[in-house]
Every structure is written in C-alpha cells, then in structure tokens.
Structure 1
C-alpha cells in the first residue's frame, strides 16, 4: 500500500502529529491518503470542492441528476473563482512509509499515524487538471457549490466528499 500527503510546501522534512482544526476531539496525528483516493488532493489546499462517485444504490433519477450524459464514474466540482489558482499551482506529493499508519476512513482513503513521519520521497505535480482528466475524472466548475452540496445531502449518493467547504462562496 502506498500512502501520500499533499502540500503546497516543497521542503517538508518530517511530518509531526498535530490536532486538525476540524477534528479537535482527536489526538495529534499525521494524515495520509491512499493511492486510490489521492486525486482528491490535486488542488490547492484551501480549494473548496465536491467529489462524488457513481456507486451502488444510486437511483436512476440521481444518476441522471449528478452524472447526466457523462461516462465518467467520478466527478469533481469546484467553484469557478479557483480556476486560475488550480491551473498555476504546483502541488507536492510526499510518499510516506505505511508501517505506522492505521485506516481511519475507508471510503475516503484516509489513514492516520501518531508518530512523527519522515517522507520517503517528494514529487512535484503540475497542471492538476490534466492529471485528473488523464484518470477519466470529470472536472466541473460552478459559481457556487451550495446548491450541489444540498442536492447531494438529500440524494441517494453514498460515495462523496465535501472538501474545504468553509472556503466556499457565500450562498
């Protein structure tokens, strides 16, 4: 299993466990994501985005609503105001040794470790939109993520992630 941490910082020598701002009830940990789900972090850190995947139990109506005419099984929607930042960003993918990590969320591919971690390597990722399209992931842009979020929360979609929503435009 390969695990990664993504950052806009290019020279992190070690990852020290810390308390995450939106998970203050947890002890300090280092977060990682598995290779299957890494694409969800091909964005600037604070970029609000919604990721959803065609999955079992999806009603015909919801399939039509969220996937329309696309043949892609994964759709990522981002606010239009982030387009230029996404096009220009360099993201650094740190590969982490998997030994001390434990599964935290299987659906999202999140792992955590309570140990300080020294990365095995770092790779620069440029033009993340091209990387996503090469994986047959559809990227959509919208002026406001709120309507999509509300629709997803009331739908039969079960495999979705709402990232950095606190950075989204006001409704």
Structure 2
C-alpha cells in the first residue's frame, strides 16, 4: 500500500515521529494519507477547507442543502481569498512505504507510524485546482467557511472533514 505525506518543503529526506500540535495527547508519530483521500491535501498546508461526501442516512433536506443539483459525490469548499494561493502553489507529495503504518482514521484516510520513515520518492504537484477537478471532486469557493461548518455540525452529514479551520476568516 502506498501512503503519502504532503509538504511545501521539497528537501525532506527523512520523517521523524513528532507530536502534532493539535494532538498532544498522542505519542510522536509520522502522519500519512491514503490515495483515496490524498486530494484533501492538494492545497497549501495552512489553507482551511471543508470536504464532505454523500453518505447513508443523509436527510432529504440536508441532501438539498449540501449537494443541491450537483451530481458530485465529494465536495471541497475553501475560502475565496485562498484561490490564488492554491492556483499558484507547488506542493510536494512524498510517497512513503506502508509497512510500519497503521490505520488511524478510516473516514479521513489517515495512517500513523511510530517509526521514522524515509520516503520512496517525491513528486512536485502543480495545477492543484485542475487536479482536484480531474478527480470529479467539486471544488467550491466561499467568502467564509463558518456558515458551512455550522450547517454541517448541525446536520445529518457524517462523512466530512474540517481542516485547518483555525485559519478560516472570522465572521
């Protein structure tokens, strides 16, 4: 199984386990993501974003609210002021050997390893918006993620991720 780590740094030759700032209750680990979910990192690291999928149990009202007439299975929403940064970004996808990793979060596709890991290869990625669109993921831009976050947290939607929300514009 191939796993990935994304960075804006093209010079990483070794991943050492570390304590994540928002997960200080965990031991030091190396984080990775699977291929199915890697697109959620096709943005600059600090870009706040919300990604959600159609899921069982979604009420008709929530289906209409979150998907409307869209046939997309997955929708990614980012704040409008991040458009240019995403458009112009180069990010680096590090392919990691999967042998020391264990599944941490199936919904998000996150894996962790308590061992140091050397990447197998590094690929620079550009044209990130086009890459997202090519995966049939609908990408939406909005002035603020706050209303969407509140709507999701008060809905029947269960398959979603809210990433780097601390960087979202305040209302």
Do both share a fold (TM > 0.5)?
A: yes
Deviation for aligned residue 1:15: 0.5
Residues 120-139 of structure 1 show CA distances to partners (whole Å, capped at 9, x for unaligned) of 00111101100010010000
Partner of 1:43: 43
- Secondary structure (helix, strand or coil) at the match of 2:69 reads coil
Residues 17-55 of structure 1 show CA distances to partners (whole Å, capped at 9, x for unaligned) of 000000000010000000111011101000000000011
CA distance in 2, matches of 1:57, 1:128: 32
Q: Confirm or deny that 1:9 pairs with 2:23.
A: no
- Secondary structure (helix, strand or coil) at the match of 2:132 reads helix
- Secondary structure (helix, strand or coil) at the match of 2:39 reads helix
Partner of 2:95: 95
The correspondence of residues 52-71 of structure 1 with structure 2, limited to 5 A, is: 52-71=52-71
The correspondence of residues 108-123 of structure 1 with structure 2, limited to 5 A, is: 108-123=108-123
**How many residue pairs get matched?**
171
CA distance in 1, matches of 2:78, 2:116: 33
Partner of 2:162: 162
Residues 45-101 of structure 1 show CA distances to partners (whole Å, capped at 9, x for unaligned) of 000000000111111111110001111110000000100000000010000000000
CA distance in 1, matches of 2:129, 2:19: 30
Residues 115-156 of structure 1 show CA distances to partners (whole Å, capped at 9, x for unaligned) of 110000011110110001001000000001000000000001
Deviation for aligned residue 1:11: 1.3
CA distance in 2, matches of 1:23, 1:115: 17
- Secondary structure (helix, strand or coil) at the match of 2:93 reads strand
Partner of 1:142: 142
**Structure 2: any 5+ residue segments left out of the alignment?**
none
CA distance in 2, matches of 1:124, 1:56: 36
CA distance in 2, matches of 1:63, 1:123: 37
Q: TM-score, normalised by structure 1?
A: 0.99
- Secondary structure (helix, strand or coil) at the match of 1:107 reads coil
